[in-house]
Amino acid sequence: MIRANANLKFICAFCACLWLSCSTLAQETRNLTPTQIEIEAQRQRLNSSEVEERRDAVMRLGSLRLAAASRVALPALIDASPIVRATAAKSILSIGAEESVSSLLPLLNDKDEFVRREVAYALGLTRSRAATAALSERLLNDKEDGVRAAAAVALGHIADEAAVVALVGTLAPELSAPANKKRKREVNVFVLRAAASALGNIRSRAGTAALISVLSNEKLPSDVRRESARSLGLIGDRAAEPALRAAAIAADPYLAQIAAEALKKLSRG
């Protein structure tokens, strides 16, 4: 009887503690805003053993566009799954440019091409010059076309003049420093077009010679020459006028039109 009473008292005490814990948790939940409840729900989903659930949780956190949500998504940058790491690259951006860059830069060395590519794009979205050096190096050295192109696009978004040397080395290596002349010429059209576009976004006259060289080279793809003409118009350097005039009567009607529009910009400048 004594043992039974002791067990009964233990059970009653346990139930009381459990009720108190549940009551406290319910009270805390009632004090949370709907957004906080959503963030907490996604935090729990990040512990799932299912890759797709973790990826979806990271996406939902990113879509909230809140620093608090991005901080919860930060651990996903080291998730075992490449798709989760890649998704997290843009989902953490609401923590601010400086912290985003420091969190993302290590992933430029990720073994997965898709992750490196998405990280490069995400760094461009930060618009932070702190990412320029790493992206410039990636533009020159990554073995995958998609990553090099993403790095060029990102450098165009950041628009830091410090990236001009790397972009010129990619677009027209014959005009770059002697150390770069041994590099294999870039042949991927998307990379070349992205580099030409980035030089236009930066608007530095240091990129003029490379863009003129590309524009005047009829062996290069039309898309790359068109982008070079457009960028020359954005830079507004009158040194490009002869090349643009020649392109304005090119057989390619799209190139001719873009060159003509670029010449108008030069005349207004």
Domains of the chain, earliest start first: 35-95 (1.25.10.10), 97-158 (1.25.10.10), 171-269 (1.25.10.10)
Whether the CB-CB separation of 262 and 243 falls below 8 Å is answered with no
φ and ψ of 54, to 5 deg = -65, -45
Q: What is the pTM of this model?
A: 0.85
User: How far apart (Å, rounded) are the C-alpha atoms in residues 201 and 99?
Assistant: 25
Q: Which of 144, 140, 122 is nearest to 131 (CA)?
A: 122
CB burial of residue 113 (10 Å; 0-12, 13-18, 19+): middle
Residue-by-residue pLDDT tens, the chain, 269 positions: 444 444 444 444 444 444 444 444 444 456 789 999 999 999 999 999 999 999 999 999 999 999 999 999 999 999 999 999 999 999 999 999 999 999 999 999 999 999 999 999 999 999 999 999 999 999 989 999 999 999 999 999 999 999 999 999 999 988 876 555 566 789 999 999 999 999 999 999 999 999 999 999 999 999 999 999 999 999 999 999 999 999 999 999 999 999 999 999 998 86
User: How far apart (Å, rounded) are the C-alpha atoms in residues 175 and 62?
Assistant: 42
CB burial of residue 248 (10 Å; 0-12, 13-18, 19+): middle
pLDDT at 268: 83
Q: Which of 141, 76, 167, 150 is nearest to 116 (CA)?
A: 150
User: How far apart (Å, rounded) are the C-alpha atoms in residues 50 and 268?
Assistant: 58
Structure tokens at 185: 């010429």
Listing DSSP states for 47-70 in one string gives: T-S-HHHHHHHHHHHHHT--HHHH
